[in-house]
Amino acid sequence: MKFFLDTANIAEIEEAASWGVISGVTTNPTLYAREGGNLAEFHNHIKRICAIVDGPVSAETVGLKRDEIIREGLELAELAPNVVVKVPTMPEGLAATKALSDKGIKVNMTLCFTAPQALLAARSGAAYISPFVGRFDDISEDGIDHLANVVQALSNYDFGHDVEVIAASVRHPQHVLAASLIGADIATVPMSTLAKCVKHPLTDRGLKAFLDDWEKVKNS
Ligand code: E4P
């Protein structure tokens, strides 16, 4: 499973990229707003992220009509060769995805929750589909069960183009584990979750013991 970083924070992206573990980045309007982003700077911000990351960078459209989504998508795709246009799962979004993917532009269909939505996204030409896990858990449904349905349903068919499932709305390492066991192609994770994935108390305890013993070696 590949890891994408789910953030618009430049410092986090630089740090995770330096670890050599991320294969892409996903952003959304909320994540950009969290960075204090303004409209005038949006395209530059996406360009900066694209220059740091050696892999796809999802930038989201905000239009609700297909023509607006297509226009935004074409502008975003011009920013850098690794831009992926992120489009919400809705009828107008499907139409825009079809038009954009017909032009060779990669689309990540976002706000996907169910297998039927994912099947439609794949048919419309989406290269990436992002089922949200944590938001199901937020309403007392098992997001991992829905993710498993998406992965299984898509694996039953050939869509004539590559489709990768991005486990999204991932909140903790348990989600990462479950997504990998299900066979999601990618997990997009916040920096806090990536940091939790690398931590283990036995690693910390073992490291402390090694360093304490090395002190003895040095002082002997
Ligand atoms: C996916 O691409 C979204 O940006 C993200 O994973 C949403 O996560 P959230 O539900 O924690 O906001």
Q: How do residues 167-198 score in pLDDT, each as one tens digit? A: 999 999 999 999 999 999 999 999 999 999 99
Whole-angstrom distance, CA of residue 140 vs CA of residue 159 = 32
Ligand 1 atom with the shortest distance to the CA of 26? 2
Ligand 1 atom having least distance to the Cα of 135: 10
**pLDDT level of residue 156 (50, 70, 90 thresholds):** very high
Q: Which atom of ligand 1 is nearest to the CA of 58?
A: 2
Domain positions in the chain are: 2-219
Choices 3.20.20.70, 3.40.630.10, 1.10.10.10, 1.10.3720.10: CATH for 2-219: 3.20.20.70
Q: Rounded to the nearest whole angstrom, what is the distance from the C-alpha of residue 207 to the centroid of ligand 1?
A: 34
User: Is 106 noted as a catalytic residue in this protein?
Assistant: no
Ligand 1 centroid, distance to 174 Cα (angstroms): 16
pLDDT in tens, 14-42: 999 999 999 999 999 999 999 999 999 99
Among 152, 116, 147, 122, which Cα is nearest to 133's? 147
Our answer on whether the CB atom of 124 is closer than 6 Å to any ligand 1 atom is: no
Catalytic residue (choose from 47, 86, 106, 216): 86
Query: In angstroms, what is the span from residue 169 Cα to ligand 1's centroid?
Result: 4
Cβ neighbours of residue 114 closer than 8 Å, sequence gap 6 or more: 131, 146, 149, 150
Render pLDDT for 75-87 as a digit per residue (tens, 0 to 9).
999 999 999 999 9
Cβ distance 191 to 9 under 8 Å? Answer: yes
Rounded to the nearest 10°, the torsion over CA 171, 91, 129, 174 is 20
The arithmetic mean of pLDDT across residues 118-137, rounded, is 98
User: pLDDT band at residue 53, thresholds of 50, 70 and 90?
Assistant: very high
